[in-house]
A and B are shown apart, each in its own frame.
Chain A
Amino acid sequence: MAGELICRCSKRFASGFALATDWKAPLAMADGAATSTVLFGPSGSGKTTLLRLIAGLEVPDSGGIFFRGAEWFGQRTLPPQQRRAGFVFQDYALFPHLTAEQNVLFGARDPKRAVIFLSKFGLNDLRKYYPRQLSGGQQQRIALARALAAEPELLLLDEPLSALDALTRARTRQELRRTLQESGVPSIIVTHDRSEAIALGDWIGVLIDGEIRQSGPIREVFRRPSDPRVAESLGVENIIPAEVVSREAGLVTVAAGAVRLECVDVGENGSVLACFRGEDVVLTRAAARESSARNRIEGVVRSVLPEGPVARVEIDCGVPVVALVTAQSAAELDLRHGQPIAAVVKATSIHLLK
């Protein structure tokens, strides 16, 4: 059941927005499990449009879409009915005139198997309820069960968790991951939420301005964004222009003004961008050289912005550095504007971009 999804197509809209992709996504991982691919990008980058092109709900102007070697778009256009690509809409699009059970059975290939989905998704007690009588989480489960009951070969999910409140979202995320893995159906999940992407995806395609800028195994892409735009959209908070000044024993030293950073040497020279994520920065007031981390940058606190369970701390070290620490740590360190603080970053957390 291996193979891949190839989207090599373009579409221009009357609004002026244009999408042009040359993207290959694997449908199975090395161990044979179905791939969950995250389609990631800022809002307005064309994620939903690409998903609709894959589903056949929009038709590209040119190019081709191939699924496991079968032509979905190219010489001729395969209608959505024949693509067997299940679509879970952002707000689920459940049929309001049908009960939960009727929704799940709506496109079921085999009603007997579809009924199993009802119990598997914990919907047995809700069978006779109409969508408007159900919570967001319940509706989401019905939408998933409905899509899976049609026995799709590919599952497309458009921001599947965004219609849920924060608490339900966290719980549903793990559930969704498990469901997707157990279903054995490869999936493409649109999201702009970084933690959602990491929790749900094996593979990622980063879409910026209608173009897939990077695609690969998710951890790999987060660790090594291919260009500054990708790094920025992935939420790599620190992108610092620097110059390579020396290298020694697998470590390279770069200078950004007075700040020196040691990083793993990947052979870059001259002007580079030193990228590291806010959560890889440790804040400390302890004396110097008490840890294995190679980089310690002294600075003063510029601002502390609480963002839910974490606080976003901006430090002026000659160059601006952003750290994400837990709200508790921020309180314990008593971080306030103008106070001296040191930012500690491991050399392996810094990724150099040309």
Chain B
Amino acid sequence: MDWQAIGLSIRLAAATTAILLLVGAPIAYWLAFSRRPWKFLVEAVVAMPLVLPPSVLGFYLLIAMGPHSPFGVAYASITGGLLPFSFAGLLVASVLYSLPFTVQPLAAAFGAVDRRLIEASWCLGVSRVATFRRVIVPLARAGIAAGAVLSFAHTMGEFGVVLMVGGNIAGVTRTASISIYDQVQALDYDSAWRTSLALLAFSFVALAVTYALQRGALGARRWSLWQAN
């Protein structure tokens, strides 16, 4: 089994999830509470990675990050390097690719928070940001956890975008799923079996945790009711 690739995937997934929670939360907040008529356009853009072929997303990212694009030039002048075929480039691609997997559960969870609780907080003089932190986040924590787990799992398994943007450099951009592809190409079925099994088990655990989190919240409520009586 290619432990290096699995380690890299975990690192990438953890970093992607952390960034996505920070970037996704304000987007999800806006999607949950905005009443703008053109909100559907933003929703469509956020959801694009769900239906866009990974190679298409990867291709555009490759061009956007390349040495001839303004973004690539700006990045090179700051860091002295280029994004394609680097871990940082992979991270940018993963964040975009997994965006809907964070934003959608988050938006659903924020929107499910009783509106009056938010208003009650505002009327107590608590700012919008503080209300988000003190009321919305604690009440949406199951949804936030679900978004984090889904993003993590989705990043662990991504293939097309990674291959387009990151290539296949051992220890830098060769993730677990690319490693499996390599192993199959090399007819090393034993290794492919093991790595695939590891990812399969991981996917199952991730989804089980997601669903357990949602039921867990219910379980806690039931317990408290019982305690009160």
Contact = CB atoms under 8 A, between A and B. Distances in A.
Given A132-B221, A132-B224, A95 B117 contact: yes
Interface string B105-145: 00000000010110111111111100000110011000000
Contacts of B116: 89, 91, 93
B120 A97 contact: no
Contacts of A150: 124-125
A118 B4 CA distance: 58
Given A89-B116, A93-B119, A95-B135, A107 B126 contact: yes
6 contacts: A79-B122, A86-B124, A87-B119, A132-B228, A150-B124, A156-B123
Interface in A269-284: none
| B121, B221, B225 — most chain A CB neighbours (10 Å) | B121
Interface residues of A, number: 29
Contacts of A55: 119, 123
A107 B114 CA distance: 18
B126 A133 contact: no
A204 interface: no
Contact of A106 (B134, B221, B227): B134
A147 interface: yes
Contact of A93 (B117, B125, B225): B117
A130 interface: yes
A312 interface: no
B120 A89 contact: yes
Interface string A87-99: 1010101011100
Given A80-B119, A96-B139, A132-B225, A147 B114 contact: no
Contacts of B121: 95, 106-107
B129 to A, nearest CB: 11
A79 B117 CA distance: 16
B152 to A, nearest CB: 25
A133 B226 CA distance: 9
Interface of B: 114, 116-117, 119-128, 134-135, 138-139, 221, 224-225, 227-228
Interface string A63-95: 000000000000000011111111101010101
A86 B125 CA distance: 9
B125 A84 contact: yes
By DSSP majority rule, is chain B's interface helix, strand, loop, or mixed? helix
Contacts of A133: 224-225, 227-228
B139 A81 contact: no
Interface in A91-119: 91, 93, 95-97, 106-107, 109
A96 B135 CA distance: 9
A57 interface: yes
A47 interface: no
B128 to A, nearest CB: 8
Given A93-B114, A95-B117, A86 B123 contact: yes
A79 B119 CA distance: 11
Given A87-B119, A93-B114, A106-B134, A81 B125 contact: yes
Given A81-B122, A95-B135, A147-B124, 19 more contacts: A55-B123, A56-B122, A56-B123, A57-B122, A80-B119, A81-B128, A86-B124, A89-B116, A93-B114, A95-B117, A96-B117, A106-B126, A107-B125, A129-B228, A130-B224, A132-B224, A132-B225, A146-B124, A150-B124
Contacts of A86: 123-124
A156 B123 CA distance: 10
B224 A107 contact: no
A56 B221 CA distance: 33
Contacts of B119: 55, 57, 80, 87, 89, 93
A93 B117 CA distance: 5
A147 B138 CA distance: 21
A312 B224 CA distance: 45
Given A93-B117, A97-B138, A85 B123 contact: yes
A87 B224 contact: no
| A81, A87, A97, A156 — most chain B CB neighbours (10 Å) | A81
| A85, A95, A146, A150 — most chain B CB neighbours (10 Å) | A95
B140 to A, nearest CB: 10
A92 B228 CA distance: 20
Interface in A314-339: none
